[in-house]
Structure 1
Amino acid sequence: MRQLLLSLLALPVLAYGADMAPDTQSNHLRDPNAYSDGYTLDSGPYVLPGPRQLHMADEDNFGHLLADEFEWQEGGVGAYDMQAWYGGTFNRVLVKAEGEYQNSQLEDARTELLWDHAISAFWNLQAGVRSDNGEGPARQWLALGVEGLAPYWLDVEATAYVGDNGRTAARVEAEYDLLITHRLILTPKAEMNLYGKSDQARGIGSGLSDASLGLRLRYEITRQFAPYVGFEYQRKLGNTADLARSEGDHAGETKWLAGVRFWF
């Protein structure tokens, strides 16, 4: 009798799982009308007469600004990693900006203007342009990549670039929020950059150019405002490290840092 009851209780779960096949689920989680059997707010037998009275949030455009890193680093270096977007659920205009400045001078900066398009429940396709500024000549690139949430709640960005004179590059970044409490959050972050050919004017060698590993501990006073402390290890690799040593610079360094994360 106990097994019979358990089997009966499991039937709704099995039926629900059968309806939610992996392909259907991934394709329709962002579609507000995926499970309405064709009935929508402006078609079907249940449409209200007169002008439309109800609008859903996914039909409007919104804007968002996130300063994921806005910090001071050991050695008098200021650094930022920010992004802003405007659009809807499926398509957005996205701006990414990351860089460092010292003594009121911009040392290095990467700015991207992208079209951000949802391709599944947790992944977006991104395409656009990138501009590198700071020390050395400016460089422009075409960009194509993905950004999303990998298994185990890992935030991942992977982008490939094509520039002038046959230049190519790739960038991979991953980070994870570890909740110590509901307000105290530890975030490890790793980043790697690769280049297809050397660019001595900007101190870049071909191959795996550089990598960094950071650890930041933030306290969310509110969800929108969180000061943090941490450290970051930066390492130049391969031909890029050789170029740095030839200029009398260190190939690797560890910096303590403090900053604030905010969004609205």
Structure 2
Amino acid sequence: MNATPRAALAQALGLALLFAHGAARAQREMQEHATPSPAQADRGMQDHAGMQPGAVEPGPGTGDRGPAKAQAQPAHFSSAATCSCASAPASALPREPIPALTDADRAAAFPVLRTHAMLHAPSRTGYLLFDRLEGWDNHHGGGQAWEASAWYGGDIDRLWLRSEGARSGGRTEAADLEALYGHAVSPWWDLLVGVKQDVAPGDARTSAAFGVQGMAPYKFEVAATLYVGEGGSASARMQGEYDVLLSNRWILQPRLEADVAFADDRARDIGSGLSTLEAGLRLRYEISRRFAPYLGVVHERAFGATADYRRDAGEAARETRVVAGVRVWF
């Protein structure tokens, strides 16, 4: 009876010791797996360092295909990187070097332009303008006046014809015709030289003419001409006009003309100095660019000895008249 309990107690103690030993061993193995040894850590770092980006470990059932696929992907990346690096310098630099610019290249690309800037092929054309074809009727009687100009030639050299005159009381008071050679010295100005012929009845004279005409700043059309006649007599005429565009068709034109004599001319009742001054204001309507009727008012005044000569002849020294006419060009 006593042996049986002792044997059972011994067996229980043996099982307890065996269980405690097994638990301690299992705990020790778990700690070893959680904390690798220094040799295992170094070996793991070397294994990870040897792996290329994109490498995939073979999974179960993949066999030899896993390593082959893992090695093919780094090779693709390596070749692409090598290709891009090799092609960058080739695209940045031309196959043939660009030669340095020379003075001959610059001269061919930017030729020297003349001041006139009208270097077209030689051509000839013509132009005829009747700037004033007008008439009036006032208490001094009716009258007519004209002013015309024409040219033929190219952009630089032209032959000019100019004519101006007036009639009053059925007779021609003054008329002249000028033939001039014009040479463009700038895009806006011409130098003129030629002759002037007075064609009024009983007053046929020939004079040399020297002048300039063109467009001043702000589009003022200006002309000034010096006339030198027989015996050294000299006179000058200056004109200026400006077109004010009220609309596409309505245009207001102020105009000023002055005659100056450098010596008395009793045969023509002209005194030295400023002889006459004419100011006009005309409003025209352009039915087309070539044809435009107009209405206007003109004031003319004589000065100095010229005014005295007119009074002695029974004429007025100043006159204001309303005019109507047309402006036409071809």
The one of 203, 209, 222 equivalent to 1:143 is: 209
Greater share of residues in strand: 1
1:168 aligned partner, one-letter code: A
Alpha-carbon distance in structure 2 between the residues aligned to 1:73 and 1:89? 38
CA deviations on 1:189-227 (whole Å, 9 max, x unpaired) are 000011111111111111111110000000000000000
Task: Determine whether 1:109 maps to 2:175.
Answer: yes
Alignment of 1:1-264 (within 5 A): 27-32=115-120, 56=121, 59-74=122-137, 75-134=141-200, 136-264=202-330
Other structure's SS at 2:203 match: coil
Question: SS of the counterpart of 2:115?
Answer: helix
Structure 2 counterpart of 1:27, one-letter code: T
Which sections of structure 1, spanning at least 5 residues, go unmatched? 1-23, 33-55
Q: Which digits, 9 at most, give the CA deviation of each residue in 1:172-199, with x for residues without a partner?
A: 1000000000100000000001111111
Structure 1 residue identity aligned to 2:151: W
CA distance in 1, matches of 2:169, 2:322: 18
Specify the alignment match of 1:52 in structure 2: none
Cα distance in 1 for partners of 2:283, 2:179 equals 29
Q: Secondary structure at the match of 2:264?
A: coil
Contact conserved, 2:281 with 2:297, CA < 8 A, in 1?
Answer: yes
Q: 1:166 to 1:76 in 2, by over 3 A?
A: same
- In structure 2, the CA distance between the partners of 1:225 and 1:239, relative to structure 1 (3 Å rule), is same
Q: Is the 8 A contact 2:179 2:195 kept in 1?
A: yes
CA distance in 1, matches of 2:202, 2:291: 35
**Cα separation, 1, equivalents of 2:286 and 2:130:** 14
Aligned partners of 2:143 and 2:170 also within 8 Å = no
Structure with bigger gyration radius: 2
What letter is aligned with 2:244?
L
Which secondary structure does the structure 2 equivalent of 1:239 belong to?
helix
Q: After alignment, is 229-238 or 198-207 more displaced?
A: 198-207
SS in 2 for 1:109: strand
Counting matched residue pairs gives: 216
CA–CA separation in structure 2 for the residues paired with 1:69 and 1:223:
15
**The residue matched to 1:165 in structure 2 has which SS?**
helix
State the SS of the aligned residue for 2:307.
helix
Provide the C-alpha distance between the structure 2 equivalents of 1:242 and 1:205, rounded to a whole number of angstroms.
9
Identity of aligned residues (%): 44
Contact 1:26 1:120 in 2 (8 A): no
Mean Cα deviation higher: 218-227 or 85-94: 85-94
Equivalent-residue separation in structure 2 for 1:82 and 1:134 (angstroms): 16
Shift of 1:106: 1.7
Which amino acid is the alignment partner of residue 29 of structure 1?
A
Change (3 A) 1:226 1:113: same
Kindly provide the amino acid, as one letter, of the partner of residue 154 in structure 1: F
Aligned-residue Cα RMSD (Å) equals 1.5
Task: Report which structure shows greater RCO (CA 8 Å, sep ≥6).
Answer: 1
Give 1:236 shift.
0.7
Q: Which runs of 4+ in 1 moved over 4 A?
A: none
Counterpart-to-counterpart distance in 2, 1:241 and 1:138: 23
1:134 positional shift: 2.0
